[in-house]
Structures are given as C-alpha cells and as structure tokens.
Amino acid sequence: MNITKEQIDDLNAVVKVAITKEDYQDKVDTILKNYKKQANIPGFRKGQVPMGLIKKQYGKAVLVDEVNKLLQDNLNKYLTEEKLDVLGNPLPKQKDDFDWDQEELDFEFELGLAPDFEVPLKTKKAITHYKIVADKKMISEQVERIQKQYGKLVSKEEVGKNDEVSGKFENEAEGIDNQSLLEMDKLKNKKAIESLVGKKVGDTVTLKTKGLFKEDYFLSSALGIGRDKADNFDTEVSFTITEINERQPAELNQELFDKLFGKDNVKSEKELRERIAEDSEKQFEQQADQKLLNDVTEYFIENTKFELPTGFLTKWIQMTGDKELTPEEASEEYEKSEKGLRYQLIEGKIIKDNNLQVQFDELKEFAKGFIKSQMAQFGQMNPKEEELDAIAVRVLGNQDEVKRLSEQLMSQKLLNLYKEKGNLKTKEVTYENFVKEVYG
C-alpha cells in the first residue's frame, strides 16, 4: 500500500491511496474459505461447494468490504502520523469508471485542513469585567422580604394598602372562576387599589385586567388562565373577598437569624446585612463571569481572522448529513454553522497553546462541588465526604454527565485564563445598573 498527499493550497489537500492485491488477498481468501465451510447452497453438501461458485457469489462483496476496512484504518493512521489537522472527515472523490478487478486499486480523498493562526489573549481593546455590588437599597429590600416571608398573618376586617386578600375572580363569558391570593403591594392600577381599600369579607369589586399588576405575569396565575391568553388580556372581572390578612414582619432577632443561617452564625442585624451582601455578590459574580466569557468569545470571533476551506466544508455538509442536501441547502447550512466552527477552532487553539487539560481528579472535585451546592438548596449544609464521593462516582458513571461537567470545568479554566492574562477593565456597578447596561 502506498499513501501520498498532494497539497492543493494551505487549506485543501488530496490524499491518494494505492492498494495492491498483496494488501488484501490473503484476508479475502481466508474469509472465502470460511464461507465455503459454512455455505448452504442447493445441490451441494455443506462444505463441498466449489470455490469458484463461492467466489462468484461472495467474492466481490468480500473484496469491497476488506478494501474499505484497509482504507479506513490506514487513512486514519496516516492522518495521525502526519499530524494533519483536518476539518470534518476525508471525502472520497467519486470515479465513475472505477474497476474493482484491477490489479491496483487507486483511491483519492479530499481533505479540508484547519488554518494556522494565533490568538493573542492580551486583546487590543480592553474588555469590561463587571463587579456587581449589593447596594444599601438592595440589602434593605432583601431584609424586608425576609421579614415578610417569616412574618405572621393577622386577620383583619377591612382591606389595607399592604394586606393579603383572598378571594375569587370571576367572568362567566371568559370562563374565569378562580380562587386566588391578591397581594395589595403587587397591584399597579390605582383605581383597583382604591376600590379594594376599606372593603370587607363578602364584598365584591369589579377590576380591569389590563395593567392590574406591576408585573404582567401575575395576571395568569391570579385568573387561572394560560400565559398566552393573559398577554394583552383586556376585560373586567369581579373579585369577591373571602379573607383579609395583614402580614406582620418578623422581628430581627436571634431566633430568626438561627432559622436562616444556623445557630449563632449570625448574631446581629449588622451581621445579617453583611451576610446578605456577601451571598448576593457571590451569585452576582456568576452572572458577571458569564457576561465576561460571552464578551471575550464574541471578541475573538470578530477579531481573529483566518480563512476556512469553505468549498470543502460545504461539500462535506452536503454529503454527510442524514439526507443529502442540494448545493444551495448545504451552502445555507454552512453559513449558519460557520460562526460556531470558528469559535471551536479558536477555543481549541487557546486550550492547546495554554495546555489546559481536564484531569479526572479535578473533574471529580468539580462534580462534588456541584453536588454540594445542590444539596445545600435542600437544607443539607454539611454532607459527609464519603457521601459526596459516592454520589460523584455515580454521576461520573454517566458519559453525558461527564461531557457536561467537563465542558463546564473547561469554561471555568478558560475564564480563569482570561482573568489572568486578558486585557480587562473592572467596572463596579449595582445589580440594577448591571441589568440596565447588559440587557437594556
């Protein structure tokens, strides 16, 4: 067997493979002999079928199968040994006059080669890395939410502006008949608030649905209708009051602190506010880091210039999908996937140049950290190390989970690399201003 490469240009090449009878004949003969032993052909005893008949019936199929195996194995070996960085897979060049009876079988494969390029981590333009801080207003609002959540309900005779009112929404024509809890501080419509304040159990008021709540999504659950119907829903509904309660805020005392953070971990309102700020900023850091990763990714895609073997990749998409595409369809698919392909190459280059690897031990520790955070959400704050190990082993026994966690860990490694070596400018903002700047 002889394999040679013809370089067309920097991004395209053709590999030629010449196979002679010596490469495959022994294997073909062995398989046909086994066929002869097992063949059941009418008119012949088992094992007594003439070899000529076996070759006539099975010879071509066995030959084609063995040659294809040889091609696959040796082509892959050649690409590895020559360290050819190919995109997609080699595409066989079709020959209409190909003759399987020739003494030497010649094959050609088109290759699309990965471009050679550099990715300077120190970008020319500084990329903003947000540091989101918890301001006094946010902390105070969180304290108020906690006091409200852990407060107690006190029954009232008349509706006040901050009460919780239970009742039934009705509109026969729209099929609305829903028992619901109405929190007065969630209402937006002033007329609705005025019509409810001072009312008693058993009273019925008429409310307009449009603009009723400060947040539109409350309307769906209040009326017991789908979100699609609730969007731009403009009608009148009756609301009959069945219960009125005032939620009195919980005292900021040791009993509440222990309930929130465990015994004696927080001992004063000042420590409570510090803890809220710390916990909030940890959550904000994840959002800021994701924003940084997105921005760095976008920068590299836009500013790392290199050519791709577009013609080859379009043909590869056309021929290797679930169904063969037309040239126009393949070109359209290539345009959709080009940006993703470019970033895969850029990311692979960064990983290779900076020797970023995911080792099993660190993947296991990463999985344990992920498991621990999930358990904390269900109140298991201090799981034993043996328990974490056992769960991690089970998780890492699932290849889909291994892939998902490996990708997350690699993203974390890339993020740490960008923080260490990138050209970043830190911008300190409140969460409210972060949302305005990032999401508009």
Instruction: Answer whether 178's CB lies under 8 Å from 207's CB.
Output: no
pLDDT tens column, 207-221: 999 999 998 889 999
Residue 254 has pLDDT above 90, yes or no: yes
3-state secondary structure 120-183: CCCCCCCEEEEEEECCHHHHHHHHHHHHHHCCEEEECCECCCCCEEEEEEEEHHHCEEEEEEEE
Residue 377 has pLDDT above 80, yes or no: no
Residue 46 has pLDDT above 90, yes or no: no
Q: Which helix (H) or strand (E) covers residue 239, if one does?
A: strand 236-248
- For residue 63, give the nearest of 106, 109, 21 by alpha carbon: 21
d(Cα 240, Cα 408) in Å, to the nearest integer?
51
Residues 6+ apart with CB under 8 A from 346: 119, 300, 301, 304
- For residue 105, give the nearest of 122, 92, 89, 117 by alpha carbon: 92
Q: First CA to last CA across the chain, in angstroms?
A: 63
pLDDT band of residue 251 (cuts 50, 70, 90) is: very high
Residue 227 has pLDDT above 80, yes or no: yes
Instruction: Answer whether 154's CB lies under 8 Å from 177's CB.
Output: no
d(Cα 238, Cα 171) in Å, to the nearest integer?
7
d(Cα 319, Cα 238) in Å, to the nearest integer?
63
Q: Tell me what pLDDT residue 238 has.
A: 96
Mean pLDDT of 262-266: 88
**Greatest Cα-to-Cα distance within the chain, rounded to the nearest angstrom:** 105
Residue 380 has pLDDT above 80, yes or no: no
Instruction: Answer whether 417's CB lies under 8 Å from 121's CB.
Output: yes
d(Cα 371, Cα 395) in Å, to the nearest integer?
9
Residue 99 has pLDDT above 80, yes or no: yes
% of the chain exceeding 90 in pLDDT: 75
d(Cα 281, Cα 133) in Å, to the nearest integer?
6
Q: Tell me what pLDDT residue 101 has.
A: 85
d(Cα 411, Cα 403) in Å, to the nearest integer?
12
Residue 419 has pLDDT above 90, yes or no: yes
Distance from chain centroid for Cα 307: 28
The amino acid at 21: K
d(Cα 350, Cα 395) in Å, to the nearest integer?
28
pLDDT tens column, 145-199: 999 889 999 999 999 999 999 999 999 999 999 999 999 999 999 999 999 999 9
Mean pLDDT of 1-11: 94
Q: Is 425 helix (H, G, I), strand (E, B) or coil?
A: strand
Residue 16 has pLDDT above 70, yes or no: yes
% of the chain exceeding 70 in pLDDT: 99
User: Could you give all domains of the chain from N- to C-terminal order, each with its CATH number?
Assistant: 2-113 (3.30.70.1050), 152-248 (3.10.50.30), 268-439 (1.10.3120)
DSSP state of 290: H
d(Cα 246, Cα 161) in Å, to the nearest integer?
10
Please state which of the ranges 45-49, 261-265, 315-319, 387-391 shows the lowest mean pLDDT. 45-49
Q: Tell me what pLDDT residue 48 has.
A: 81
Q: Tell me what pLDDT residue 341 has.
A: 94
Mean pLDDT of 288-295: 94
pLDDT band of residue 379 (cuts 50, 70, 90) is: low
Given CA atoms 251, 256, 257, 260 in this order, what sign does their dihedral have? negative
Q: Tell me what pLDDT residue 421 has.
A: 94
pLDDT tens column, 309-354: 999 999 999 988 778 889 999 999 999 999 999 999 999 999 999 9
**Single pTM value for the model:** 0.72
Q: Tell me what pLDDT residue 91 has.
A: 94
- Match 């909030």 to its residue by tokens: 280
Mean pLDDT of 230-237: 91
Mean pLDDT of 107-130: 94
